[in-house]
Amino acid sequence: MPAQKIKALVLDWAGTTVDFGSVAPARTMQRVFASHHIELTEAEARQHMGLPKKDHIREILSIPRIREIWRTDFKVVPGEKDVEALYAEFIPLQFSCLMDYSAVLEGVSEAVEGFRTRGLKIGSTTGYTREMLDMLLESSAKEGYVPDCSVTPGEVGAGRPHPYMIYECAIRLQVYPTAAIAKVGDTPADVREGLNAGAWSIGVAGTGNRVGLTRDEFSALPDSQRKLLLERARNELREAGAHYVIDDLSELNTLLDAIDARLEATGTEAHLHA
């Protein structure tokens, strides 16, 4: 069945709707590895952001520099036992850090109301566990942001870049085809999740992982540095395959008008050649 317009959005959390700069997961990863005398660079902590957190830890341990430090310090190549042990340390640290960076981003609640006014349903996916996401749902509701459904990797067997969380959102929201869904997120993993689901995939550059700063830190930068960070973030998301890239959710309504126009003109195949 061809899609004639966008019917639903599936929004990411950290870096897209809450936690400007996706700071909470990056800082927690750095703290976990620092407890083992490994100082992760900002790039190392953020390279695989958007994945389920156990997968994220596994990918960090596969970085050659980190792998060599681990082998030298612990006389063993890091394996699954180490992944499990680090993940067990990560969980309580993430809970303690999460609420420090849980604020809903400026303009998100108003943007979501605008999306609902145009008849869209709102789903969400994440790399967090259900327990972590429930904390975010409770705090975000107090600030006026409540998605219609939320899905975590543990509920569908695998997280990003697999499409299963989006499929589950489609089931819960009763929306089809997936070409009538737009996935919106700030990491390459978000982009690939949308592409793998056959949905429109929209990257968010200005509030997300590649910027990697709090709003105050970002605002304090000289204009030239802000522009450089933004362009790098946009390029990363384009290279991941995003159909479109925006700086924040305030730009999405106008973009949806353009996507709807393309779908009305050409049907489902419009996004295959976007």
pLDDT given at position 62: 97
* Peptide linkage before 163 cis (omega within 30 of 0): no
- d(CA 177, CA 6) in angstroms, rounded, equals 10
Q: What angle do CA 170, 200, 98 make, to 5 degrees?
A: 70
- Residue pair 45/30 in contact by the 8 Å Cβ criterion: yes
pTM for the complete prediction? 0.90
> Which tokens go with 163?
């499409």
Domain 8-22+103-273 grouped into CATH 3.30.540.10: no
CATH of 24-100, one of 3.40.50.1100, 1.10.150.240, 3.40.1350.10, 1.20.1250.20: 1.10.150.240
pLDDT given at position 171: 98
Full 3-state SS string of the chain: CCCCCCCEEEECCECCCECCCCHHHHHHHHHHHHCCCCCCCHHHHHCCCCCCHHHHHHHHHCCHHHHHHHHHHHCCCCCHHHHHHHHHHHHHHHHHHHHHHCCECCCHHHHHHHHHHCCCEEEEECCCCHHHHHHHHHHHHHCCCCCCEEECHHHCCCCCCCCHHHHHHHHHHCCCCHHHEEEEECCHHHHHHHHHHCCEEEEECCCCCCCCCCHHHHHHCCHHHHHHHHHHHHHHHHHCCCCEEECCHHHHHHHHHHHHHHHHHHCHHHHHHC
Confidence of residue 3 (pLDDT cuts 50, 70, 90): confident
Question: Region 22-49: what's the mean pLDDT?
Answer: 94
Question: Region 68-81: what's the mean pLDDT?
Answer: 96
pLDDT given at position 266: 76
Q: What is the pLDDT of residues 228-262, one digit of tens each?
A: 999 999 999 999 999 999 999 999 999 999 999 99
Mean pLDDT of the chain: 94
Cα–Cα nearest to 145, from 119, 171, 116: 116
Q: What is the pLDDT of residues 111-140, one digit of tens each?
A: 999 999 999 999 999 999 999 999 999 999
- d(CA 28, CA 45) in angstroms, rounded, equals 9
Q: Which residues of 68-79 are buried (b: 16+ CB within 10 A; e: fewer)?
A: ebbeeeeeeebe
Residue type, 82: D
Residues of the chain with CATH 3.40.50.1000: 8-22+103-273
Confidence of residue 77 (pLDDT cuts 50, 70, 90): very high
Question: Region 162-180: what's the mean pLDDT?
Answer: 97
Residues of the chain with CATH 1.10.150.240: 24-100
Annotated active-site positions, please? 12, 53
